Amino acid sequence: MKQNADLANVAREMLRQAYAPYSGFRVGAALETESGEVYGACNVENASYGLTICAERAAATQAVSAGHRRFRRLVVATEGDRAVPPCGACCQFVAEFGDDTRVYSVAKKETQSWLLKDLIPHAFTKRLLET
């Protein structure tokens, strides 16, 4: 299993690929599957702003497209001093596949960690579609 530092390095490397000409806010993400593979991605903005894709969701779509459905760790890398949590949309998106994923956020002067279920305690899950 990779060290947290290795995962963080993948996320930082992805951050360098960020396409963020509008916000200037560059984000990288690394998502580790239950079986230990790592998928990285960056945020990809668009002139039609609402089409922007966050780094975390971009990483998740890659992992899911490769057949993975369970995720152990998600690392988010940003360039500012303080660590930021993934946005609500990304939390919801990843919670589709289980909410016990451990989330790390690494910034210049700070690292934070949460369980996904603590970031989004009331995720809308497939179970709710049956009520």
String marking each residue 93-122 x if it binds ligand THU according to CB under 6 A: ------------------------------
What's the DSSP call for residue 109? S
Q: How far apart are CA 29 and CA 12, in angstroms?
A: 8
Q: Does 54 bind ligand THU (CB under 6 A)?
A: yes
Span near ligand THU by CB under 6 A; candidates 50-58, 59-67, 92-100, 108-116? 50-58
Site residue total, ligand THU (CB under 6 A): 13
Query: What single-letter DSSP state applies at residue 85?
Result: P
Is residue 23 a contact point for ligand THU (CB under 6 A)? yes
40 is a contact residue toward ligand THU (CB under 6 A):
no
Rounded distance, CA 127 to CA 109, Å?
A: 39
The single residue among 55, 77, 103, 116 that binds ligand THU, judged by CB under 6 A, is 55
Classify 14 as helix, strand or coil: helix
The two beta strands, 27-33 and 71-78, are antiparallel
Considering only residues 86, 105, 119, 120, which one is a binding residue for ligand THU as defined by CB under 6 A?
86
Indicate the helix (H) or strand (E) that contains 53.
Answer: none
The residues carrying an active-site annotation are 56
